[in-house]
Amino acid sequence: MRMALAMVGVFLTSCGSPAPSSSATPPQTGTAIATRPTAASSAPSAMAQLATAESRYGRILVDGSGRTLYLFDIERDPTPRCYDACAVSWPPLLATTASTTDPLLNQTSIAVSPRNNDSQQLTYNGHPLYYYVGDRNVGDIKCQAVIEFGGGWYVVDSRGNKITAR
C-alpha cells in the first residue's frame, strides 16, 4: 500500500502539477481509427494513423486524432518495457498496423512490437509509442521531458527522435 501511495505521489508531482501546458496543432489530414486511451484501458485498434502537428517543441508525432505521442528513453529497441502502473500513466498506442499520409513521416519506420499480454504496440523508428494519461484534449502536452518509472518521457520528432526541450 505504501508503495502504491508513493507511486501516486511521484506521478502527481511529476506531471500533475499545475504547470503551464502546451498544445499541438492537430493535423489537417488523416482520420484516426485508434481509440482514445484512458487510465483504465488502452483499447487496441486494428489500424492507426500517424501524423505530425506543430507544437511549442516544434513539429511532433501525433496520432490521427492529433493526440500527442511520447517515447520512453530506456527502451533502446522496439521492445516495450512499460507495464502495470507505468502503462496506467503512459498507455501504449495499441494497434496491429498503422499508416500515414503525412509527407514528413516515413512509412517504413512504422512497425509494431508484441507486448507481454499478446497485444501489439505501435513503434516509430524503433521506439514504442505512448500517450500520457493527463493529456485529456487533442494537442495537450502536459508531461514532456520528465523522469518517471526509471526513464525519461519525451515527445517525438518526425524522424522518430526524442525532443529534449522542456
Using one digit for the tens of pLDDT, what is the confidence trace for 122-158? 999 999 999 999 999 999 999 999 999 999 999 999 9
The total number of residues shown for the chain amounts to: 166
- 93 neighbors 122 (Cβ within 8 angstroms): yes
Res 111: pLDDT: 97
pLDDT digit string, tens, across residues 92-102: 999 999 999 99
Residue 44 in this model has a pLDDT that exceeds 70: no
Separation CA 99–CA 49 (nearest Å): 5
Q: What is the pTM of this model?
A: 0.79
Exposed/middle/buried for 77, CB within 10 Å: 0-12, 13-18, 19+?
A: exposed
Q: What's phi and psi for 13, nearest 5 deg?
A: -80, -25
- 100 neighbors 51 (Cβ within 8 angstroms): yes
DSSP 102-154: -TTS-GGGEEEEE-TTS-EEEEETTEE-B--TT--STTEE-S-SEEETTEEEE
pLDDT digit string, tens, across residues 107-120: 999 999 999 999 99
Cα distances (Å, whole numbers) of residue 58 to 18, 51, 164: 22, 14, 11
Separation CA 87–CA 1 (nearest Å): 19
What b/e sequence results for 81-116 when a residue is b if at least 16 CB atoms lie within 10 Å of its CB, and e otherwise?
A: ebeebbbbbbbbbbbeebebebeebeeebbbbbebe
In the chain, the percentage of residues whose pLDDT exceeds 70 is 73
Name the DSSP letter for residue 36: P
Separation CA 124–CA 120 (nearest Å): 13
